[in-house]
Chains A and B, each alone.
Chain A
């Protein structure tokens, strides 16, 4: 051992214990990015992900503060811890970005998606679809004699599960908003 507590012959990583070494395991993180709502700001954020090869699993954006002209972009992304750190640092140094929150590490957060499902069918399948919609607390927002449009809100898992159930019952089309997320508590 040298005076710096480095094991002789260790390679790849310095053996210093200030930080755990980078893990190669991919993680999914939900980021909330507060930006100036100016032209091109979304292109800038998406361009960063495309240009540097980061993943976007889900993306939602809307103006959340009309007087301050701020928008909130919620991005779900997947990568190794090092990549996730890079993404946050890269976002944080963009000029129109005011805040970057990693909801996955900043404590508990609620995440919700809204989805619309068009299901077409007659007879037993139609009745079954309506029954399942009730179980999932989906609302019927449009109906004809041969179709329904259901509106469902919930976690991504819940929306996915509902989609799986609707598929054999005549799922024709679906639209999903992507995830909106907020930290719990004050």
Chain B
């Protein structure tokens, strides 16, 4: 179709509010998570008069943003949020920041007071673009209806291109009412924002050369592999198979390489496995694929993997050399770079350093022998690790998606559940937002109505957005809330034990609700289990129930999450269990988070 045709056929006069709905349709949006209010009423009126786009009415705008994140991360498509001005927009800020930290594509549409009232402290006026400038990839205040559709299409382009992230379009109410010509998607001005996706062939050749010679290589993968699309995960598996290199992953990258794969070392970082962290520490070639050397991963920078050459594949130039000096920087999209890397590897008939690699694997096998995830089970009280092992065993064959809240349960979920495919694991990594998991599970279930969606939660986090159970019930979304209830802000308690002389300041969950009654009050099923002997049956009951379930799993209250690399310590100073925790964290580590 040529451009002139497009212009004459689809450029139409319409109101700003209708443009919003039209632009969403043209972008292929199927669902919007939102909450109405005065400044978005014209858009809600347009939504009412159509049937292509579904609207999920949330209970709090933060919920809408996390649902959109869950939707986006489990589908690879952008999540769309619609909220009103002032409090609607400020309530959305946490989720927008969460999406920025974890590179999740969101398009957030906010209403604003009419242009002629901006700056007058009007009712429900907030400087939304000012407030969200630091937590969006980009944002726009639209002052003229003639620019609205163009900006909306740009917004989708920016959210999904390069390193994905949240964008926000703030639309004053008079702009929604006024009429102008609609700019179709194909005619929108998106040209100048085009991050490079193809890696430098010279750097790729250099990496191939290093891969041939490396004695102790490791593939350190991250959320970028997931964001790059399913093809990136396929190529990663091909690379791991072609080379036999061990693979570890950050919290955000779980599932890109299968947990059952023979090269899998488990997750790395602060609560990563012994074998993954020691491999990172001792390797001679580290290939970072779509990860960002986060402080949860590196530990003390000066002792991070001291003897390795580091290659880094990333689409964001600011991630390269930000915290760790990279020897072979490869700027590009993971899929494209891995494809070129594999092609170069095959074209050269490359072979790995067999002897070195065999010794390396022998070393890794020895580390694996430590069995760092072993724990002392109990037949009196449910250990959280055991609960997750049972959940894993009983849901293995299901079409399963897992979300989490933030805390010990999140780390245990990452350690004890196995992910075989990308887009199956949704967790708040960068921001660590308690209250993420429940709404995220709803967003995932909206996208995958027939799948099994489980939120592995802590009781404290879960309470932060529990109002969204109303959303689950209203839209018949059978999400399973698996609460590992230790009646503690467990992760805080663990740090207080290790760092603050066991002074447990405010880390109890006091006055907890009766979760079963709470579930019933929402119109869901509630299940309570506190005996290891009943656990399997209780989990099966949860799985069999056709509707949302709140599962109150009462677990050991003082369990600590191991292995642990205390903040400010290097990878090879990992704590494996209780016996090693006395006085290990000095004042220098105490200031770190």
Q: Which residues of A contact B (CB under 8 A)?
A: 2-4, 6, 8-16, 18-19, 21-22, 39-40, 43-44, 47, 51, 82, 85-86, 89-90, 92-96, 98
20 extra interchain contacts, Cβ-Cβ under 8 A, other than A2-B284, A11-B307, A93-B316?
A3-B214, A3-B353, A4-B213, A6-B284, A14-B325, A16-B327, A19-B326, A19-B327, A40-B130, A43-B130, A43-B133, A51-B134, A82-B325, A85-B321, A89-B318, A89-B322, A90-B318, A93-B195, A94-B138, A95-B137
The distance from the CB of A101 to the nearest CB of chain B, in whole angstroms, is: 15
> B327 and A14: CB pair below 8 A?
yes
Given the complex, which residues of B lie within 8 Å of A43, measured CB to CB?
A: 130, 133
Report yes or no: A4 in contact with B210, Cβ–Cβ below 8 A. Answer: yes
Give min CB distance, B220 to chain A, whole Å. 14
> Would A11 and B316 count as touching, CB distance under 8 A?
no
Instruction: State A22–B301 Cα separation when bound (angstroms).
Output: 13
Within 8 A of A (CB), among B177-196: 192-193, 195
Q: Are B309 and A6 in contact (CB under 8 A)?
A: yes
B192-209 to A contact mask, C-beta < 8 Å, 1/0:
110100000000001000
Interface residues of B in 109-164 (CB under 8 A from A): 129-130, 133-134, 137-138, 141, 143, 158, 162-163
Q: A44 to B133, Cβ gap below 8 A?
A: yes
Complexed CA–CA distance, A82 and B302 (Å): 15
Nearest CB in chain B to that of A98: its residue: B192
Contact, CB under 8 Å: A14 / B307: yes
Are the CB atoms of B214 and A4 closer together than 8 Å?
Answer: yes
Hey, what's the 0/1 contact readout for B209-233 against A, CB within 8 Å counting as 1?
0100111000000000000000000
Q: A6-B284, A18-B328, A22-B325 are in contact. Are A89 and B133 (CB under 8 A)?
A: no
Closest to B318 in A: A89
**B interface, CB within 8 angstroms of A:** 129-130, 133-134, 137-138, 141, 143, 158, 162-163, 192-193, 195, 206, 210, 213-215, 284-285, 302-303, 306-310, 316-318, 320-322, 325-328, 353, 356
Chain B residues with CB under 8 Å of A9's CB are 307
- The answer to whether A92 touches B353, judged by C-beta atoms less than 8 angstroms apart, is no
Complex contact B325–A19 (CB within 8 A):
yes
- Check if B306 sits within 8 Å of A12, measured CB to CB: yes
A6 and B134 within 8 A (CB): no
Q: Is A93 a contact partner of B318 (Cβ separation < 8 A)?
A: yes
CA distance A36 to B318 in the complex (A): 21
Closest to A85 in B: B321
Most chain B beta-carbon neighbours within 10 Å: one of A21, A44, A89: A89
Establish whether residues B317 and A47, one from each chain, have CB atoms under 8 Å apart when the complex forms.
Answer: no
- Across the interface, A47 reaches (CB within 8 A) one of B134, B192, B210, B318, namely B134
Are A4 and B158 CB-contacts (below 8 A) given A16-B327, A39-B141, A43-B130?
no
A-B complex: 6 closest residue pairs judged by Cβ atoms: A89-B318, A95-B138, A11-B306, A89-B317, A16-B327, A16-B309
Measured between beta carbons, the chain A residues less than 8 angstroms from B316 are 93
Residues of A within 8 A of B310 (CB): 14
Name the CB-closest residue of B to A95. Answer: B138
CB contacts (< 8 Å) of B308 on chain A: these are 6, 14
Q: Are A4 and B129 neighbours in the complex by a CB distance under 8 Å?
A: no
Choose among A2, A39, A96 the residue that contacts B215 (Cβ–Cβ < 8 A). A2
**Can you spell out 14 A-B residue pairs with CB atoms less than 8 angstroms apart?**
A2-B307, A4-B210, A4-B215, A4-B285, A11-B302, A11-B303, A12-B303, A18-B328, A19-B325, A40-B141, A43-B133, A82-B325, A85-B321, A89-B322
- Chain B, residue nearest A87 (CB): B318
B283 to chain A, nearest CB (A): 10
Are B328 and A6 closer than 8 Å at their CB atoms?
A: no
Q: In the docked arrangement, what's the CA distance between A14 and B304, Å?
A: 10
